[in-house]
Amino acid sequence: MPETDTLIDWPEEGVARAPYAVFSDPDVYAAEMRRIFRGPVWHYLGLEAELPEPGDYRLIDVGDTPVIVLRNSDGGLNALVNRCAHKGTMLLFEPFGRVDRLMCIYHNWAYDLEGCLKSVPFAKGINGKGGMPETFDMAANGLDRLRVESLGGIIFGTFSDATPPIEIYIGERLMANYRRMTSRPFKVLGYYSQHLDSNWKLYFENASDPYHATILHAWATRLKLNRFTMEGAIEMSERGWHHLSWSKMATDQHGEVYETEAFRSGGDDFDAFGLHDASVIEQWDEFGDGITTAIQTAFPNFVLQQIHNAIATRYLVPRGPEGSELVWTVLGYADDDEEQTRIRLKQGNLIGPSGYISLEDGMVGSLVQKGIEGDKDKSSVMEMAGRSIETIVNSRASECGVRGFWTAYRELMGV
């Protein structure tokens, strides 16, 4: 069970409020690393497609902890803390590679791919003098391990024995979209990341918040790629920790509200704003169900994304109380033909740090971070569609996704 203390006084409105102090307080950050990131949650660790052969590894940061994810000699997956048991040195520092053992550069302590300590140089000393004492236990000095599960080609890890299996964690309701997007093997098209001058939760609130999507992201709204007036919904996982927001662009009705209400993202004047080359939004019905946008989150920091045919994973690495790194893996599927790959690469213009749609998402968190700096005793207000995590049928005019994030947060933090 989480510790309980007076780390934060949460407002009585519950998850319809988030106290500004949680976005910058170093004590809160330290508690998050223990109670959430080392707690009963699953972390994205990468893709099976990144580790095809025995010995293939990738590095990833799980909260503040550097982790090696590798395929062992039996074809299984291990996640080991990237830190020698001797002095704490990082063992690997190239982000991807292949190894047959893990050897520390500092004093050459060497581990097998299971993380077991296999050799210590000069363990018997020189001419019987010096060396490790009889009491030194090799078996007790292996690498720290995470539990690993792989689902639909995506690898997850957890530090906690209490975390339920990944399918249960995601929950049956949201497993439907998860299966929809992971039914074919992935192919990696590339990587990039964004350093954000904002607390990690500000980005993750944004990813859990469809309310902003058609208002902040004027590019997609003006081109009628995503509007609240299209068929769509927010779906919440059983415990409310994770959300899915989806829409079908071909179903827009009464979208003129964006113009009549004079939203910044409205505007029908295609002379002032229209595409001179529409090939950037050339697309096909990816999953045969007409859904053109699907954003699925998994608490605390994972996003599975379909924006037309731009498929990606995103995960967030907290970098201290007022910074974070958002890491994108741009994906296709292994059976894509050349034309499909070309369309995905062109739609790459919609996502990432230069994305017509995505570029505002990182930026807006830094505006919040600056805005709240002087008033740590105040809170944000999230009452769109009430104060609960219940969804509204056929409407995305709700902040239930963000309230779901705060539900999980309060539960694990004990605040």
Partner 1 sequence: MATIVEDSAHVPAAITALMADYVHAIDDDRLEDWPDFFTDPCIYRIATRDNEERGLPASLVWCDSRAMLLDRVVSVRHANVFEPHRYRHMVSAIRVLAREGTEHRVHSNYLVTRTMRDGTMAVFSTGAYRDVIVVGDEGARFRERVVVCDHGMINNLIAIPI
Contacts of 292 (CB under 8 A, 6+ apart): 225, 226, 247, 248, 249, 250, 283, 306, 307, 308
Nearest distance from residue 288's CB to partner 1, in Å? 24
Nearest distance from residue 289's CB to partner 1, in Å? 25
CB of 59 closer than 8 Å to CB of 66: yes
Backbone angles phi, psi at 216, to 5 degrees: -70, -40
Pick 182 or 366: Cβ nearer partner 1: 366
Nearest distance from residue 162's CB to partner 1, in Å? 33
Pick 101 or 370: Cβ nearer partner 1: 370
CB of 160 closer than 8 Å to CB of 41: yes
DSSP conformation class of 313: E
Pick 48 or 325: Cβ nearer partner 1: 325
d(CA 163, CA 153): 20
Prior bond to 300 cis, omega within 30? yes
Nearest distance from residue 155's CB to partner 1, in Å? 19
Determine whether 230 is exposed, middle or buried from the number of CB atoms within 10 Å of its CB (0-12, 13-18, 19+). buried
Pick 36 or 331: Cβ nearer partner 1: 331
Pick 126 or 272: Cβ nearer partner 1: 272
Tokens of 232: 């769509």
Pick 110 or 327: Cβ nearer partner 1: 327
Nearest distance from residue 353's CB to partner 1, in Å? 4
Nearest distance from residue 96's CB to partner 1, in Å? 8
Q: Which of 201, 196, 233 lies closest to 402 in space, CA to CA?
A: 201
Nearest distance from residue 279's CB to partner 1, in Å? 7
Q: Output the CA angle 224-298-96, nearest 5 degrees.
A: 100
Q: Which of 318, 164, 189 lies closest to 242 in space, CA to CA?
A: 164
Pick 156 or 203: Cβ nearer partner 1: 203
Nearest distance from residue 265's CB to partner 1, in Å? 8
Q: Provide the H-helix boundaries in 18-171.
A: 26-32, 166-170
Tokens of 287: 């999953």
Beta bridge partners of 151: 154
DSSP conformation class of 125: -
Site residues for partner 1 per CB under 8 A: 95-96, 188-197, 216, 218-219, 222, 264, 272-273, 275-277, 279-280, 325, 330, 341, 345-346, 348-349, 352-354, 356, 359-360, 362-363, 366-367
Pick 156 or 315: Cβ nearer partner 1: 315
